[in-house]
Structure 1
Amino acid sequence: MTAVLPDPQSADRPADRPAARPAARRAAPGRRRRLRVSDVTVVDGPMLKKTIGGTVVGNFMEWYDVGVYGYLAVVMGAVFLPTASSGVQILFSLGVFASTYVARPLGGIICGRIGDRIGRQKVLSFTLIMMAASTFLIGLLPTYDTIGAVAPLLLVLLKLLQGFSTGGEYAGVTTFVVEHAPDRRRGWAASFLDFGTYVGFAAGAVVVTVLQVTLGEQAVLDGAWRIPFLVAGPIGAFAVWFRLKIEETPAFQAQQAATEQDGGAAAAQAAAAAPTLRSLWKPLAVAMVLVAVANTASYVLTSYMPTYLTDTLGYDAVDGTLLTVPVLVLLAGMILVAGPISDRVGRRPLMWFGTGSMLVLSVPAFALLAAGHVWSTLLGLSLMAVPVASLVGVQAATLPAMFPTAVRYRSMGLAYNVALAVFGGTTPLIVEALTQATGSSLAPAYYVMAFAVVGAVTVFFLRESAGQPLPGAMPAVDTDAEAAELVATQDENPNLDVETLPLHREPAASGAH
């Protein structure tokens, strides 16, 4: 997987060079702090590629399940609540989908706290195992016809378990990748995460479509719906094996090395001075709003669209699925473009473009969908993909850069998952309820436009982070030559403020008292 990553700017360096050097020195009182070459982290190129590959497979796994469940929403309602009306079945199925997001904040906070203490890699292996196992077990569940009302309860329980594990997954993998990436290419590296997201979603759609075409709707209802969930077993086993081969991040290693070097008293003092989540309420609030905006648009396009095309616009299940697959592939490609662009022009311009296009294109997109032609549906879905790519494509690089290393994982876990629980995961349920209540096929467009306005305002409060070191971490570059150049130009570099870097104390000069 890692061999195909487009990384034209990387350069080789000696294989025995450590991926991270412990953070360096703090200037003595009265002296100006200086950055040295030994302070700068030179990124291990092969390990970066392995890291991207190992985290992409986890995102693929998570969103493969989301895609499968989204495209089987009508079927799952009929299987686990067969005595209800079709409208109630759909609301039940979407409600079960939304219930997974209840557990996500808890998973994000607990996994984040542990990950900030013992390391990101160990926790991410655990979340992936839990996620794959719960998806596999859904494929083994007895139905309502077998055990009655216990069946939907077990479905909800397993979806809650999925929610807990995925709550720690995305917050962890974004933290993991950005802490491995060089500062000037963080957007490029992080964009692969959401690329994996939409490829996984498309894969889930393809698997469901193949079942529907080859076996027929009745066979899917009779039990073939289990197959996509059971496939998660071998996929998950491969993903766990891949992830276990990745090293811990340079930023976390440097922080641990600094703690061990300073000793117990210094470590306790540093822990007492570390920021708390309460002191970070402003970046947490900004992050929550940005996540809500990006994922509202995303979930309308992905998780809700199969239901909208079949239940509201009258497409049959197979056509509704097939129409979304090429758009998901297009979206994945657009995300790989958005990340590198944000490295050049900044994260904020891309987010303003995303919220602006979200406001302008939503009504035309849904009007094209309502026209009922295949070409208009594809064009409408493609228009919806533009703001999603612009917002989601820079999200993974932007959000972790808002928080310091010591609390980055738990901060991401809280901000991302609370926003997703309140807004993202409930989006399919809310827009379906709005559509049924108003009878208007444009109701989802107006809902998305309201979030676009809020998002555009919130970007004003976002600090630009493209090309800058992560808070609480030393600068990260691709080569030794870049490290030397960074040190030589540190006084005029607009992306570098040495006074904010976590430098250690310099050795006292000879003869000093």
Structure 2
Amino acid sequence: MTNETPPVALPAGLPGTEPYAGPASPSPRTTTLSGQQNPNDGTGVSKKTLRRVIGASFIGNFVEWFDYAVYGYLAVTIAHAFFPETDKQTALLLTFGLFAISFFVRPIGGFIWGHIGDRVGRKNALSLSILIMSAATFAIALIPDYNIIGIWAPILLLLVRVVQGFSAAGEYAGASAFLVEYAPANRRGLYAAVVPASTATGLLLGSLIALLLSVSLSPDQMNSWGWRLPFLLAAPMGLIGRYIRVKLEDTPAFLALEKEDEAIKAPVTDLFRKHWRPLLIAVGAVVLNAVGFYVVLSYMPTYLSEVVGLDSSESFLATTVALVTYIGFIFLTGLASDRFGRKRVLITASILFVVLTVPMFLLLSTGNFLIIILVQILLGAMLTLNDGTLPSFLAELFPTKIRYSGFAVSFNLTNALFGGTALFASTLLIKLSGSNLAPGWYLMAAAVVSLIAVSLAKETSKAPLMH
């Protein structure tokens, strides 16, 4: 960290702030997420505020990915409830198809939430998005199944998932920008790693609940009402997240921009006219994350039970073990990206996926439970090199005026094209090719795209945030 005046001065009057004391050596206290304050980090934010920022950024993504996890892990049961008159594989394809269609609204959400976040403020966008998202998730539990209302059941499920996709479009990008703009300059990677850690924690809880339900309820109980229980948890969790967020000030960077009256009227237009190159790099960089996240962490239980032939409880257990280690690896990756740079870590992730993905899927096909757990842990560790670095990398690519929009548009557009379709594409590729390795080849191709995109980017970790 160089001894230079921070690029963004904190507006006077922000609770818990102290005046900038001038150049000094970086304090080692900024090496943790405990809220320890470095008076020269350029933010001067109090320990209490930092803890609340971390909590507020964590919980929204946690609720979002808890829902996605439950939907993915209970896909076979949900398929039975909403598509009982089709064969098993077609019902599963239709269920994953609904999952994919809901993602197509995310680019629209990215435009709208990006505009709100860059014009009105990060806090306002995040506070509203979590309210909509948790309400939509809760509504899934209330939809009658096909045997009761017929074709209206999958139609209602689709409508609710579209609302979820729209609201979720503001979560990941907003929380990442929020943390990066609050973080000490030399620890932006570590702080931003809270966002993917929250998504993995949501997946972990979803996996644990799916495992608990699968071993404690009979198939009839699961099909009739058991699958609904996890979705009911969204309402209280969302209200807690909303409460935490409305109590926070907006980020120092946005408040400085607002004070100087430099917020632009049409941030998305400015993004496409003046910042199209970093936008293209961002889209390419997200491809591996979009495909890898859903294949490795969401689709895997279905793959292990339906394709490999593993018992459903064992497949959930293997994924749960992998997720626990994944969360730890995420923070190590955040630290590594601060030390070695975002570009180097992201390129390493892409190369590992190109070389190792297909061999690992071959090992999964052995059906050996211990080997499956080890492979999932290794795949998860490889994914964290991308997932733990991407939030800070994307936030640093764009200036404050369009940071929310740049992140939200690139992240959600790519996830709509490749993330939401990953479960459907993996299932379809296996059906068309007859090869259980098809998801591995698909994941390897995604890694090649990201490798090219990141190679064209500049290193962002050591530079000050663009104003």
**TM-score, length-normalised on structure 1?**
0.82
Q: Which residue of 1 aligns with 2:17?
A: 18
Query: Secondary structure at 1:468's aligned position in 2?
Result: coil
Q: Which residue of 1 aligns with 2:30?
A: none
Deviation at 1:20, TM superposition (A): 8.6
Q: Which residue of 2 aligns with 1:206?
A: 208
Deviation at 1:207, TM superposition (A): 0.8
**Residue-pair matches, total:** 436
In structure 2, C-alpha distance between the alignment counterparts of 1:291 and 1:88, rounded to whole Å = 29
Q: What letter corresponds to residue 103 of structure 2 in structure 1?
A: Y
Distance 1:18 1:378, change over 3 A: same
Task: Note if 1:328 corresponds to 2:323.
Answer: yes
In structure 2, C-alpha distance between the alignment counterparts of 1:157 and 1:20, rounded to whole Å = 50
Distance 1:75 1:46, change over 3 A: same
Query: Secondary structure at 2:250's aligned position in 1?
Result: coil
For each residue in 1:99-134, what CA deviation from the matched residue of structure 2 results, as whole angstroms up to 9, or x when unmatched? 121111111110110111111101101100011000
Q: What letter corresponds to residue 58 of structure 2 in structure 1?
A: V
Query: Secondary structure at 1:246's aligned position in 2?
Result: coil
In structure 2, C-alpha distance between the alignment counterparts of 1:59 and 1:166, rounded to whole Å = 8
Q: Which residue of 2 aligns with 1:47?
A: 49
In structure 2, C-alpha distance between the alignment counterparts of 1:50 and 1:57, rounded to whole Å = 11
Q: Which residue of 1 aligns with 2:5?
A: none
Q: What letter corresponds to residue 281 of structure 1 in structure 2?
A: W
Query: Secondary structure at 2:388's aligned position in 1?
Result: helix
Distance 1:353 1:276, change over 3 A: closer
Distance 1:167 1:213, change over 3 A: same
In structure 2, C-alpha distance between the alignment counterparts of 1:419 and 1:101, rounded to whole Å = 10
Q: 1:223 aligns with which of 207, 225, 238?
A: 225
1:438-453 matches, cutoff 5 A: 438-453=433-448
1:258-337 matches, cutoff 5 A: 258-259=260-261, 275-337=270-332
Query: Secondary structure at 1:278's aligned position in 2?
Result: helix
Distance 1:39 1:275, change over 3 A: farther
In structure 1, C-alpha distance between the alignment counterparts of 2:47 and 2:286, rounded to whole Å = 30
Native 8 Å contact 1:213 1:318 kept in 2: yes
In structure 1, C-alpha distance between the alignment counterparts of 2:241 and 2:69, rounded to whole Å = 18
1:112-511 matches, cutoff 5 A: 112-259=114-261, 275-472=270-467
Q: What letter corresponds to residue 121 of structure 2 in structure 1?
A: G
Query: Secondary structure at 1:277's aligned position in 2?
Result: helix
For each residue in 1:260-285, what CA deviation from the matched residue of structure 2 results, as whole angstroms up to 9, or x when unmatched? xxxxxxx69x7699944222111111
Q: What letter corresponds to residue 248 of structure 2 in structure 1?
A: I
In structure 2, C-alpha distance between the alignment counterparts of 1:303 and 1:330, rounded to whole Å = 16
In structure 1, C-alpha distance between the alignment counterparts of 2:314 and 2:178, rounded to whole Å = 38
Task: Tell me whether 61-70 or 453-462 shows the greater mean CA deviation.
Answer: 453-462
Native 8 Å contact 2:271 2:406 kept in 1: no
Q: What letter corresponds to residue 359 of structure 1 in structure 2?
A: V
In structure 1, C-alpha distance between the alignment counterparts of 2:349 and 2:119, rounded to whole Å = 35
Native 8 Å contact 2:364 2:372 kept in 1: yes
Distance 1:38 1:230, change over 3 A: closer
Query: Secondary structure at 1:465's aligned position in 2?
Result: coil
Query: Secondary structure at 1:303's aligned position in 2?
Result: helix
Q: Which residue of 2 aligns with 1:103?
A: 105
In structure 2, C-alpha distance between the alignment counterparts of 1:78 and 1:39, rounded to whole Å = 54
In structure 2, C-alpha distance between the alignment counterparts of 1:91 and 1:293, rounded to whole Å = 22
Larger radius of gyration, structure 1 or 2?
1
Q: What letter corresponds to residue 17 of structure 2 in structure 1?
A: P
Specify every segment of 5 or more residues in structure 1 that has no aligned partner in the other structure, as ranges: 1-13, 22-36, 260-266, 473-513
Q: Which residue of 1 aligns with 2:3?
A: none
In structure 2, C-alpha distance between the alignment counterparts of 1:118 and 1:46, rounded to whole Å = 24
In structure 2, C-alpha distance between the alignment counterparts of 1:98 and 1:90, rounded to whole Å = 12
State the identity as a percent: 38
Q: What letter corresponds to residue 347 of structure 2 in structure 1?
A: W
Distance 1:445 1:272, change over 3 A: closer
- Taking only aligned residues, the RMSD between alpha carbons, in angstroms, comes to 2.1
Specify every segment of 5 or more residues in structure 2 that has no aligned partner in the other structure, as ranges: 1-12, 21-38
In structure 2, C-alpha distance between the alignment counterparts of 1:96 and 1:19, rounded to whole Å = 50
In structure 2, C-alpha distance between the alignment counterparts of 1:396 and 1:83, rounded to whole Å = 42
